[in-house]
Structure 1
Amino acid sequence: MSIESLEAALPGLVAQRLEVPRRIDWQVLFDGLRTGLPDDYIALAESYPRLGIGQFLSVTSPAPGGEAEFVEGTREDLAGAEDMAQKEMLGGYPAFPESGGLLPWGGSIDGDEFYWRTEGQPNEWTVVVAGRNDDWFHYEGSLSSYLAWLCSGTAEPHGLPPNFPGPEPVVSVG
């Protein structure tokens, strides 16, 4: 699924789309993380700076020129995830780079964490949500389709606040 589905679910998003892509050096990320990333995430990061939904959920993305720092921050997050996996606190999932391991893509102000389950090729990765109360949810789809589903108003938020994202979620970029 593409970011157009997310833009359809979040009408306020389209007005904030950049006219010119951000020109992130994706090869630095691919080399540093030792993996590619899903096409919908790349399109989202090129079209919008850091994306926030409902003043609650944020999708992290690298800044042009800050790719190495983004990789370093992701590696630090992965070290924490590996520690959690060893303590059996990662919902039964391994941490990336193990096959099917979790790779972070976002978080919430309440401490909820959002991951890709890295099984198969990047465009086949699915979403795993780790709620702050140890609620785990696996969504069989892409990041953009998960966010579109969540923001459509038809999805149960599965461990997230019951009123999230609300009927007209505020969208912020930057």
Structure 2
Amino acid sequence: MTIPDDIQRLIDLVGYPEKPHGIGTDWTGVERRLALSLPSDFKQLVAVFGTGPWGGFLHVLTPFAENELLLERAANRALGALHTIRRAHPEQVPFALFPEELGLFPWGITDNGDTLFWLTEGFHWSTVVFDARAAAWERHDLSSSALIRAFLLGVLPSRCLLEPFAGERPLGVHLQGG
């Protein structure tokens, strides 16, 4: 199996996990249930690293997890919450929501309650971060693994994801046992 460049860069940065949680490779049933073909980068990320955590803070949602990081359960929660917000305050949700065309679909969460979504448009899905505390949105034209790498290096232009680290690089937290 060939490892995509973005996944290899993550491996080069942090190494292989000793005991990854939520890893798996059988996506057929998952994608059928979701009626959505997930990005190959994400599938490789889950196959190698599982849920993370990244920087002791960012967690990947995977259909192979046995807890709150279970992809389908977390997706239903996140999308349900945004549908509720959008009904009451449409201006606070400036994106379509899956299963709508070009709808957001979640792939990660943080310990602060932020949700990372794909914007399901075109061949290369960008990531949209929703900071629920501030009702703020950030869009990053990065794959899941590229966004995680930029986050760990502290070079991701993201107030939502880097603010909790107060200037420290999340990579240092990750390597200390995150």
**Does TM-score exceed 0.5, indicating one fold?**
yes
Decide whether aligned partners of structure 1 residues 163 and 113 sit closer, same or farther in structure 2, where only a CA change above 3 A counts. Answer: farther
- Structure 2 portions without partners, runs of 5+: none
The structure 2 residue matched to 1:7, chosen from 5, 11, 21, is 11
Preserved CA contact (<8 Å) 1:100 1:119: yes
Preserved CA contact (<8 Å) 1:105 1:115: yes
Superposed displacement of residue 18, structure 1: 7.2
Instruction: Give the structure-2-normalised TM-score.
Output: 0.77
Aligned twin of 1:166: 170
Decide whether aligned partners of structure 1 residues 126 and 170 sit closer, same or farther in structure 2, where only a CA change above 3 A counts. Answer: same
**Bigger relative contact order, structure 1 or 2 (CA pairs below 8 A, ≥6 apart):** 1
Q: How does 1:37-76 map to 2 (within 5 A)?
A: 37-63=38-64, 70-76=71-77
- Structure 1 portions without partners, runs of 5+: none
Note the alpha carbon deviations across 1:67-104, whole angstroms, 9 max, x for none.
xx743442343222222233326540111111221111
The structure 1 residue matched to 2:94, chosen from 88, 92, 95, is 92
CA RMSD of aligned residues (A): 2.9
Residue 154 of structure 1 pairs with residue 158 of structure 2: no
Residue 103 of structure 1 pairs with residue 123 of structure 2: no
Instruction: Give the structure-1-normalised TM-score.
Output: 0.78
Preserved CA contact (<8 Å) 2:126 2:142: yes
Looking at structure 1, the residues matched to 6 and 18 of structure 2 have their Cα atoms a distance apart, in angstroms, of 14
Superposed displacement of residue 167, structure 1: 5.1
Aligned twin of 2:145: 144
Preserved CA contact (<8 Å) 1:81 1:90: no
Looking at structure 2, the residues matched to 110 and 157 of structure 1 have their Cα atoms a distance apart, in angstroms, of 14
